[in-house]
Amino acid sequence: MKIAVVGTGYVGLVTGTCFAEVGIDVTCIDIDQKKIDGLKEGIMPIYEPGLETMVKKNYEKGRLHFSTNLAESIQDCETAFIAVGTPPGEDGSADLKYVLAVAKSIGENMNNYMVVVTKSTVPVGTAQKVKKEVAAALKKRGVDIPFDVASNPEFLKEGAAIADFLKPDRIVVGVESEKAEEIMKKLYKPFLLNGHPTIFMDVPSAEMTKYAANSMLATKISFMNDIANLCEIMGADVNMVRKGIGSDNRIGNKFIYPGVGYGGSCFPKDVKALIKTAEDNGYTMSVLKAVEEVNERQKSVMVTKVKSHFGSDLKGKTFAVWGLSFKPKTDDMREAPSIVIINALLEMGAKVKAYDPIAMEEAKHDLKDTITYAKDEYDTLIDADALLLVTEWPEFRVPNFEVVGKLMKSKVIFDGRNIYDKQEVTNLGFDYYGIGI
């Protein structure tokens, strides 16, 4: 079996590598020569646990190839996955120019029957646009090669992408023909030995499934953040409320952790895009609009707490920030709440000293030299007026609070993820502020 994966971002690279891992011949294609050259030398364009080792192994075994030449690489392939970026346009809708450009090149160069699969998160209706692009390119060539389009949304979590791909909860595939269904079934069979299902459906439903899944998860988070804020006002403890509701298995105990708001490359973009799709079609997604509004507000909740403790003038004050990436185990800074929080502190005249185990290089693109980047978490605390825990990296979970207190100028903790025990740190003489407790 020979396949091509176009786009070597998170989705494309993980997809290609994991298919190679089960023995399929995969070529990962990207227009970025530097990225492709780097990959051949084992240099990863992204940080994802376990990826580097797996890429190197499969490249050396000759099952995983890297190329900038799409025309050559798709020859004799049965399947081509499109996994290029869909950046949000000005109005929140996903920009399809890269996806459609790839579709066009596929049509211009394919030599046999192919399933052209959209793997990027794309609005409902995109597979039809891909179909038109491929067909138009084939017509221009004056050839009549049959092909199918399919939609195969990914549900990978950054930081756990390899494990999610190798042992998926489910695979969702939208197809238009039995032949395409058979090919996709065969491709995914090695990953579903655990009995989890491949759910086949029509193409628009598959496209919608991705948006609905991410929007539902974002809704859970915003709902809990709203409840957390109300808990604070009413003197309730959201940690208790979370446990209380999470034990009802209709609600479930996942994705109900309040915090500083969701970030990343998927939730913010997908929620926006679904609102926009609905709007374009004369419908209003009222719940999702509120989900977005709550999330924006939530990114400032810690800053509000800082203001009520220190006042609005933070000149001469230094804040230690632990964690910059939008979540642990990734270097991804896209839509990271840390950026909003840090910029607000800087605007009020504060100095910020931050540490993140992986994301500091990435963070420099957004925050430049407006802050000091510390060598470790304890280094941020020297003469700090307060500690802000923004991203719950495992290494921040059990700090030596005695050392923490000694290093700081004043013992104040703003815990944006509720990872510390309020009672414990209060007993150690800290002023403690959590979310909803």
Q: Name the binding residues.
A: 30, 35, 86, 121, 155-158, 210, 255-259, 263, 269, 327, 334
Strand order in the sheet with 431-433: 372-373, 351-355, 318-322, 386-389, 412-415, 431-433
Interface with ligand UDX includes 362 (CB under 6 A)?
A: no
Under rule CB under 6 A, residue 268 binds ligand UDX = no
Residue type, 146: P
Verify binding: residue 263, ligand UDX, rule CB under 6 A: yes
CB of 321 to ligand UDX, least distance (A): 15
In the complex, what is the shortest distance from the CB of residue 157 to ligand UDX, in angstroms, rounded to a whole number? 4
Total binding residues for ligand UDX by CB under 6 A? Answer: 19
The stretch near ligand UDX (CB under 6 A) out of 29-37, 132-140, 258-266, 423-431 is 258-266
Report the residue number, 188 or 255, with the smaller CB distance to ligand UDX.
255
Asked if 256 touches ligand UDX (CB under 6 A), the answer is yes
Site for ligand UDX in 190-249 (CB under 6 A): 214, 217, 221
Least distance CB 51 / ligand UDX (angstroms): 14
156 binds ligand UDX (CB under 6 A): yes
Q: Residues near 419 by Cβ (< 8 Å), separated by ≥ 6?
A: 389, 392, 396, 397
| Residue from the set 211, 310, 326, 373 that interacts with ligand UDX by CB under 6 A | 326
Chain residue whose CB lies nearest ligand UDX: 266
Residue 396 found at the interface with ligand UDX (CB under 6 A): no
Q: Which of these segments, 132-140, 260-268, 285-293, 315-323, binds ligand UDX (CB under 6 A)?
A: 260-268
The residue from 98, 155, 188, 401 that contacts ligand UDX (CB under 6 A) is 155
Q: Pick from 269, 420, 263: which is nearest to 338 by CA?
A: 263
Q: How far apart are CA 43 and CA 28, in angstroms?
A: 14
- For the bound state, the minimum distance from the C-beta of residue 267 to ligand UDX, rounded and expressed in Å, comes to 5
267 binds ligand UDX (CB under 6 A): yes
The binder of ligand UDX chosen from 97, 157, 189, 409 (CB under 6 A)? 157
- Among the listed residues 47, 200, 257, 393, the single contact to ligand UDX using CB under 6 A: 257
Residues 327-356 that bind ligand UDX (CB under 6 A): 327
Per-residue HEC secondary structure of 345-395 comes to HHHCCCEEEEECCCCHHHHHHHHCCCCEECCCCCHHHCCCCEEEECCCCHH
Nearest approach, Cβ of residue 209 and ligand UDX (Å): 11
Stretch that binds ligand UDX, among 59-67, 92-100, 257-265, 283-291 (CB under 6 A): 257-265
Minimum CB distance to ligand UDX, residue 228 (Å): 10
Could you tell me the smallest distance in angstroms from the CB atom of residue 389 to ligand UDX?
12
Which amino acid does the sequence have at 45?
Answer: P
Q: Shortest distance, CB of residue 376 to ligand UDX, whole angstroms?
A: 22
- Per the annotation, binding residues for substrate are 155-158, 210, 255-259, 263, 327
Annotated catalytic, 77? no
Q: How far is CA 79 from CA 30, 31, 58, 132, 359, in A?
A: 16, 19, 19, 17, 35
CA distance 302 to 289: 22
Which of 81, 165, 200, 262 is in the footprint of ligand UDX by CB under 6 A? Answer: 262
Residue 310 is a binding residue for ligand UDX (CB under 6 A): no
Residue number, 7 or 107, with CB nearest to ligand UDX = 7
Which residue's CB is nearer to ligand UDX, number 74 or number 336? 336
User: Counting contacts by CB under 6 A, is residue 264 touching ligand UDX?
Assistant: yes
Quote the tokens at residue 205. Answer: 């439903």
Q: Which of 259, 323, 416, 436 binds ligand UDX (CB under 6 A)?
A: 259
Q: Which residue has the tokens 């092909």?
A: 147
Catalytic residues: 266
Binding interface with ligand UDX (CB under 6 A): 154-158, 214, 217, 221, 255-257, 259, 262-264, 266-267, 326-327
